Amino acid sequence: MNRTLSLSVLSSLLSATAVVASAAAAPVYLNQDNMTVVVGPGTSSGTFHNTFNSGATITKVIDAPSADAEEFHDQSTHIWFTADDVGGGLELVFEFDASYDIDTLHFWNYTSEGYDVDNVDFFFFNAGGAQVGALSVQPDLGSSGGIEAQDIALAAPLNVKSVTAFLTGSNREVDFQNIGFSAELSQVPSPAASGLLLAGLITATGRRRSRG
């Protein structure tokens, strides 16, 4: 077997790997299409006012169709929670349809200090349920008129399958429109793909050795 063929096999394998890697690296916007959200058990005592009137559900915090979507503040679009005590807040638990490497948080905050979210504590979990990181962000006020997302770079860990967010306001008020994430599908090679690559490399190496 000649060296040219061996190199050609190696080259093909590396190209195939690059194609797989670039396909997996395409950014994904995470919203109601590829994650779920529930009100977490860590939510403090408080009131949701008219948040769930008319059959509305918590899913309205992940219904922005894209990261640059504009949303108007009305009863069908936002969440309003008031904690009974300072320090209390709303806990949301997001579950993704796969493991992702999160790049960016998109946060549509309320437009005035009297009700907006002042701090969000994030906790990140892998597919096994183990906590793999935590960080806090202080989002800006929402833009007036149609509210657009503030894009906040998140130094989040890799391979995140679920996220818990604890949202608070310094005056007990938590009012916002949406949360979304931009992420890339985590690159965990499938056993079949890595087995194929390994077999190819062994074959190519064996051919090179037999030639010498």
What is the binding site for Ca ion (CB under 5 A)? 60, 63, 77, 113, 116, 118, 169, 177-178
Residue 108, burial from CB neighbour count under 10 angstroms (0-12, 13-18, 19+):
buried
CB of 61 to Ca ion, least distance (A): 6
CB of 76 to Ca ion, least distance (A): 8
User: Please, which residue, 13 or 69, has the CB nearer to Ca ion?
Assistant: 69
User: Please, which residue, 82 or 186, has the CB nearer to Ca ion?
Assistant: 82
User: Please, which residue, 60 or 161, has the CB nearer to Ca ion?
Assistant: 60
Cα 95–Cα 98–Cα 99 angle in degrees, nearest 5: 90
CB of 152 to Ca ion, least distance (A): 17
User: Please, which residue, 13 or 149, has the CB nearer to Ca ion?
Assistant: 149
101: part of which helix (H) or strand (E)?
A: strand 90-109
User: Please, which residue, 60 or 106, has the CB nearer to Ca ion?
Assistant: 60
**Which single residue is written with the structure tokens 């300072």?**
86
CB of 135 to Ca ion, least distance (A): 20
Residues 20 and 185: beta-carbon distance below 8 Å = no
| Token pair for 50 | 């008219």
CB of 173 to Ca ion, least distance (A): 6
Torsion angle of the four alpha carbons 180, 139, 90, 98, in this order, in degrees rounded to the nearest 10: 30
